[in-house]
């Protein structure tokens, strides 16, 4: 067993760390200021700053990391993408190397040659943004219970229904919409994915919902939204499996986000403990704080290994659904514990919006809900172990 990273992976890690230090860290005061003003998501950075960052990332060759060469990417795989994500999440400045979400993996499995030209290639190049609409008011953890329907009329599909909590719906050039095409079959042959372009008549962005953290997802309604048959993504009735693949990749990525955020909290805790003196002694000399630090370092180490292992296994074509569930549970809870310890160590400053800790703590909270709540993942893990 060899735990060392390949040279090309280490070089990528170094490049991303440099990008974070030079480009993203200096923007943190601006992000904190805009967060305090109530701005969220994409608005945490002004458009011109975001454009500049994308240009710099492009210059540094930091796009399409996990995109296969045939689609114009670097073909490095999921492990390097996780390494890059870990380094990126050292900072609270929100930035993603394109493409913006693991929808790539769903598209790669399903696109027709025409869809490849229109959606996959521009998306892989970072020229288009995407969203995915699965959750509904009555079906979140259990997407098999979704009610949105797509009915074939001639060579068109008419979609009606309501989705909720859809991240980036307002900036997406296209949304992957999951809908029921055969009620009798449900998730086993009755659920289909559709590509829906921004501005399609009948696609209504109903309201943006402010939530804890830096997200503000959307409620989206489809009112007799009519799209041509060519917008079916993948095999009719079989949208569930590619959607699950996409969720699995995101769960691995969330592991790497959590490791990056927790590492930042630990670094801040270590620095502060060495400076801050109370009752004539440094915090670093107090066992209570030493244990915070030791437990956090141990937590991070375990999550990092779980992330790298899951990503490596995925890159080797193995089924990692179980590992991804374990990681999603462990890493999100781990980072919450570490952020909490860091805030406690900083005392009043830990509560303040002048330091990134409070921002990180809020950002972590919804991660125990989206891409499947913690309890559902625990249930899934146990169910597979307990089955006869």
Footprint of ligand FAD on 43-72 (CB under 6 A): none
Contact flag: residue 98 with ligand FAD (CB under 6 A):
no
Residue 178 CB, shortest distance to ligand FAD, in Å, is 8
Q: What is the number of residues in the chain?
A: 388
Footprint of ligand FAD on 114-173 (CB under 6 A): 131-135, 140-141, 165-167
Taking CB under 6 A as the binding criterion, the range among 66-74, 111-119, 304-312, 362-370 that sits at the site for ligand FAD is: 362-370
Residue 100 CB, shortest distance to ligand FAD, in Å, is 11
C-alpha span between 185 and 156 (Å, rounded):
21
Taking the alpha carbons at both ends of the chain, their separation in whole angstroms is: 32
Contact 341, 296 (CB under 8 A): yes
Contact 370, 294 (CB under 8 A): no
Taking CB under 6 A as the binding criterion, the range among 26-34, 280-288, 356-364, 365-373 that sits at the site for ligand FAD is: 365-373
Contact 220, 206 (CB under 8 A): yes
Binding residue count for ligand FAD, defined by CB under 6 A:
21
**Side-chain half-sphere CA neighbours of 58 within 13 A:** 11
C-alpha span between 16 and 243 (Å, rounded):
29
Closest residue to ligand FAD in the complex (CB): 140
The token pair that represents 239 in the structure block: 């949208």
Report, in angstroms and rounded to the nearest whole number, the Rg of the chain calculated over CA atoms.
22
Please say if 7 is a catalytic residue: no
DSSP-H helix ranges across the chain: 7-19, 28-36, 47-59, 78-88, 103-110, 113-115, 121-124, 240-275, 287-315, 321-345, 348-351, 356-364, 374-386
C-alpha span between 342 and 368 (Å, rounded):
19
Taking CB under 6 A as the binding criterion, the range among 72-80, 188-196, 235-243, 369-377 that sits at the site for ligand FAD is: 369-377
Contact flag: residue 376 with ligand FAD (CB under 6 A):
yes
Footprint of ligand FAD on 211-240 (CB under 6 A): 211, 215, 217
Of 23 and 253, CB closest to ligand FAD: 253
Residue 175: strand pairing partners: 131, 196
Contact flag: residue 372 with ligand FAD (CB under 6 A):
yes
Residue 132: strand pairing partners: 176
Footprint of ligand FAD on 237-296 (CB under 6 A): none
Catalytic residue among 69, 354, 371, 375: 371
Exactly one of 49, 158, 369, 381 binds ligand FAD (CB under 6 A); which one? Answer: 369
Contact 125, 112 (CB under 8 A): no
* DSSP tag of 136: B
Residue 90 CB, shortest distance to ligand FAD, in Å, is 21
Residue 113 CB, shortest distance to ligand FAD, in Å, is 27
Residue 98 CB, shortest distance to ligand FAD, in Å, is 17
Residue 208 CB, shortest distance to ligand FAD, in Å, is 11
**What are the E-state strand segments in 127-190?**
130-133, 149-153, 156-166, 174-180
Beta strand 130-133 with 156-166: parallel, antiparallel or unpaired? unpaired
Taking CB under 6 A as the binding criterion, the range among 107-115, 248-256, 304-312, 366-374 that sits at the site for ligand FAD is: 366-374
Residue 213 CB, shortest distance to ligand FAD, in Å, is 6
Of 214 and 231, CB closest to ligand FAD: 214
Of 305 and 382, CB closest to ligand FAD: 382
Interface ranges with ligand FAD (CB under 6 A): 131-135, 140-141, 165-167, 211, 215, 217, 366, 369-370, 372-373, 375-376, 379
Q: Which residues does the annotation mark as catalytic? A: 371
């Amino acid at each position: 067993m060899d735990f060392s990273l390949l040279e090309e992976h280490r070089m990528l890690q170094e490049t991303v760390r440099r990008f974070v230090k030079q480009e993203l860290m200096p923007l943190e005061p601006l992000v904190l200021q805009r967060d305090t003003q109530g701005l969220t998501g994409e608005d945490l950075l002004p458009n011109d700053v975001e454009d500049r960052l994308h240009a710099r990332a492009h210059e540094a060759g930091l796009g399409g990391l996990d995109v296969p060469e045939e689609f114009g990417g670097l073909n490095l795989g999921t492990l390097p993408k996780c390494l890059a994500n870990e380094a990126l999440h050292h900072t609270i400045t929100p930035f993603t190397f394109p493409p913006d979400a693991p929808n790539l993996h769903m598209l790669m499995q399903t696109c027709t040659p025409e869809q490849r030209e229109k959606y996959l290639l521009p998306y892989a190049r970072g020229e288009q943004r995407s969203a995915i609409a699965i959750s509904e008011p009555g079906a979140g953890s259990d997407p098999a219970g979704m009610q949105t329907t797509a009915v074939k009329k001639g060579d068109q599909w008419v979609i009606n229904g309501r989705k909720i909590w859809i991240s980036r719906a307002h900036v997406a050039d296209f949304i992957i919409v999951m809908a029921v095409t055969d009620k009798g079959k449900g998730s086993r042959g009755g659920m289909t994915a559709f590509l829906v372009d921004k501005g399609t008549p009948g696609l209504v962005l109903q309201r943006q919902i402010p939530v804890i953290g830096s997200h503000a997802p959307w409620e989206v309604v489809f009112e007799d939204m009519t799209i041509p048959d060519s917008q079916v993504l993948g095999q009719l009735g079989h949208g569930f499996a590619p959607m699950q693949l996409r969720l699995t990749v995101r769960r691995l990525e969330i592991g790497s986000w959590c490791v990056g955020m927790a590492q930042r909290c630990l670094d801040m805790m270590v620095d502060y403990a060495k400076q801050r003196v109370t009752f004539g002694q440094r915090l670093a000399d107090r066992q209570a704080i030493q244990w915070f630090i030791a437990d956090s370092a141990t937590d991070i180490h375990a999550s990092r290994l779980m992330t790298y292992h899951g990503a490596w296994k995925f890159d080797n074509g193995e089924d990692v659904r179980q590992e991804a569930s374990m990681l999603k549970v462990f890493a999100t809870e781990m980072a919450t514990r570490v952020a909490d310890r860091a805030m406690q160590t900083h005392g009043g400053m830990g509560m303040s919006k002048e330091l990134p800790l409070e921002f990180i703590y809020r950002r972590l909270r919804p991660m125990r809900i989206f891409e499947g709540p913690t309890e559902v993942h625990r249930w899934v893990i146990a169910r597979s172990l307990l089955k006869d």
